[in-house]
Structure 1
């Protein structure tokens, strides 16, 4: 597991699970963590908590960047390219949501990540 993935989970109760997780399970956990941070940012905007919003969105951006950096372009082909483009889009929307406190952008990202996570969860883990 890379240092950035470990650092994303060091401050949560699932650190031990992430450390022992298979690559398939780690992606599942990263999607779950991304959804959690998006929801946290959404709540922070509602409360007017600028610092909380920025912290959650910064952490969300770290997760998205980690997901993109770990795409296997050689084996993944078109799927990896499409995921890379989606991760770029999410990164842009995260920056926008942070600058504009845009709840609609967060809702859009939550929907997209839920779909990704659902598809990933439905995929059988390699043995």
Structure 2
């Protein structure tokens, strides 16, 4: 298991969302650097990765559970998607910087939520997520694995 996989394994679902927002910001900065360098291929790659993250976040929204909050996030993702497309099409660093500012604001809100003990308890109750005792060791409440053996 790589360092990155171990780090992700120990995150709660909200921390994973924060990590995805960090990825969007990182790729948007890469796109800006590519525009400034005149590197069209790198700009397209960075924008595509940003859009991939947006589409993943959009696909994970639960409108039946999230209600108005999920709808607001859906509209936010659509707006950022449009800014990215326009920024890439026009090679506009201003549009991409606008997207970064918006993503950063919402990321900060998710960061606050990720540290809220009430939210973490709600996640524990409503999902299969459990805080990891250690990324490399099974959670103490997990069932012991069977020791089946086989031979060829």
Tell me the number of residue pairs that the alignment of Structure 1 and Structure 2 aligns. 116
Gaps of 5+ in 1: 1-12
TM-score by length of 2: 0.71
* Counterpart residue number, 1:126: 120
* Counterpart residue number, 1:26: 16
Greater relative CO (CA pairs within 8 A, separation 6+): 2
* Counterpart residue number, 1:59: 49
CA distance in 1, matches of 2:96, 2:68: 26
Find runs of 4+ consecutive structure 1 residues off by over 6 angstroms: none
* Counterpart residue number, 1:47: 37
- The offset of 1:72, in angstroms, is 1.6
- The offset of 1:74, in angstroms, is 1.6
Supply the RMSD in Å over aligned alpha carbons.
Answer: 1.7
Gaps of 5+ in 2: 122-152
Confirm or deny that 1:38 pairs with 2:28.
yes
Query: Which structure is larger by alpha-carbon Rg, 1 or 2?
Result: 2
TM-score by length of 1: 0.84
> Within 5 A, what are the aligned runs for 1:77-116?
77-116=67-106
Check 1:100–1:19 CA distance in 2 against 1; reply closer, same or farther (3 A cut).
Answer: farther
Which of 65, 71, 89 is 2:61 aligned to? Answer: 71
